[in-house]
Chain A
């Protein structure tokens, strides 16, 4: 039975009327390919590499999301150039912390989910609709999360209806929370959030917001061994994506390298980063 399901076979389900959700559809025709079809076994979290810190910050014209490049397995660095921030569709970004393999799979599924809806319905979901859809998908993963395979996404995007950048965070049970101004998830998030608390200003432009999230990632890497700082020798720098009314764009390598150089120069003067006024 399960062998047959690996092949895409045309059944009456393909002609069923009414569903524009890819996940719902696949769970009927080919459930084995879904991430939630894994058997939940106690302690499986130790078998998977973990991705770490994601930071997001809004600015008047949109929102930026950045992630460090490290995945760890216990004390081992499993990968030093992993990418954990992706464009979910034309106007939204998803960053993921937690079990890396499952998280990447979940992002792939979420991307198809949004594209599938857009093609079937002829119009994209609203930003809040996308955020809610992601909550459902995280909820389906609860059984795995209980066994240690936790995925914690951070979702952000340009809301065409309200004309602003918005950030949504999630817990492992699928709870969805809207965050204002800035937020961070993952093992280094406590430090990153503390850093942004002092650095964030509501009148940032895109470049300043990008520098602020890179500063926050640096502070996270400074105090959390699972978060990777900029790798100057290998030129591996954080991934930064911005969502504005023009859509999602990944900031170019040169621009990031410039921002990282700026950061390193100022940290050489003051290793703890920019100081905030005392009062």
Chain B
């Protein structure tokens, strides 16, 4: 029987982090940003069935990049967590902060435990507060660290190039159409300043909002098909409904 090689803990963590980062960088990106009536999610996603953005609870939504089966697993756990909590206590007792904490614990444990491979995912938990000032975007990375993002969050491959474009165009109180155009333009400019921007059509996008103006308690709404095309074309506000 041979002894395993000694690997310094620093090196071990660095290797795991590199591994996770490489996995995440392979995927297409997601942009999450505040707009006048809530929070907008725009993902580059050619699949209509495998979502990167989805509803967790009345005012809480989830976006992810990376390995699909891993973030899908996290998404389902989040829905279960929220529904059990809301049913046991009250619907108002389900918060984005609680959910972000839960995800941070799970990701952190998986990352630092010796056995499993780290999750190759990055996720955003966004929550609509009572007032726009209370809206929250939490960004969680593969190692369980949480960042409370002020204006927007970008995840996935070429996140830096995309974030640069979003930050140059972002102001508070953007209308939905303006915010959507900004995000779509940024997603297309992932080649950096020297490459020609790609043009992303409706079929390559997954768009959803947490919309404060929606009458029902569930504020999450997908924007797709003709509505999305109209939103990106002339900037007219789509009416409520999916």
Chain A interface (Cβ < 8 Å from any Cβ of B): 6, 8, 10, 14-15, 17, 22, 25-26, 29-30, 33, 108-109, 112, 115-116, 119-120, 122
CB-CB under 8 A from B106, the residues of chain A are 10
Distance, CA A8 to CA B55, complexed state (A): 20
The reply to whether A8 and B85 contact each other, CB–CB distance below 8 Å, is yes
Q: Is B148 an interface residue (CB 8 A)?
A: no
CB-CB under 8 A from A25, the residues of chain B are 80, 84
Q: What 7 pairs across the A-B complex have the smallest Cβ distances?
A: A14-B77, A8-B85, A119-B79, A116-B83, A33-B88, A14-B80, A112-B87
Q: Is B207 an interface residue (CB 8 A)?
A: no
The reply to whether B77 and A15 contact each other, CB–CB distance below 8 Å, is yes
Distance, CA A109 to CA B81, complexed state (A): 15
CB-CB under 8 A from B92, the residues of chain A are none
Q: Is B167 an interface residue (CB 8 A)?
A: no
CB-CB under 8 A from B14, the residues of chain A are none
A89 to chain B: closest residue by CB: B218
Greatest chain B CB density within 10 A among A8, A29, A33, A108 is at A8
Q: Is B86 an interface residue (CB 8 A)?
A: yes
Given contacts A8-B85, A112-B87, A119-B79, 16 further A-B pairs with CB under 8 A are A8-B81, A10-B102, A10-B106, A15-B76, A22-B83, A25-B84, A26-B84, A26-B87, A30-B84, A108-B87, A109-B87, A112-B86, A115-B83, A119-B56, A120-B79, A122-B54
Greatest chain B CB density within 10 A among A14, A17, A30, A108 is at A14
Q: Is B73 an interface residue (CB 8 A)?
A: yes
Distance, CA A120 to CA B54, complexed state (A): 9
Distance, CA A17 to CA B77, complexed state (A): 10
Main secondary structure of the interface of A (DSSP, over half): helix
Contact with A along B33-56 (1 / 0, CB 8 A): 000000000000000010100111
B89 to chain A: closest residue by CB: A8
The reply to whether B76 and A120 contact each other, CB–CB distance below 8 Å, is yes
The reply to whether A17 and B79 contact each other, CB–CB distance below 8 Å, is no
Q: Is B105 an interface residue (CB 8 A)?
A: yes
Which of A14, A112, A119 has a CB less than 8 Å from the CB of B55? Answer: A119
- Give me 6 A-to-B residue pairs in the complex whose CB atoms sit less than 8 angstroms apart, sorted by A's number: A8-B81, A10-B105, A26-B84, A30-B84, A115-B218, A122-B51
Expressed in whole angstroms, the minimum distance between the Cβ of B47 and any Cβ of chain A is: 11
CB-CB under 8 A from A122, the residues of chain B are 49, 51, 54
Expressed in whole angstroms, the minimum distance between the Cβ of A69 and any Cβ of chain B is: 23
Distance, CA A8 to CA B105, complexed state (A): 14
Distance, CA A25 to CA B77, complexed state (A): 11
Contact with A along B61-87 (1 / 0, CB 8 A): 000000000000100110111011111
B84 to chain A: closest residue by CB: A8
Expressed in whole angstroms, the minimum distance between the Cβ of B23 and any Cβ of chain A is: 19
CB-CB under 8 A from B51, the residues of chain A are 122
Which of B56, B79, B88, B105 has a CB less than 8 Å from the CB of A6? Answer: B88
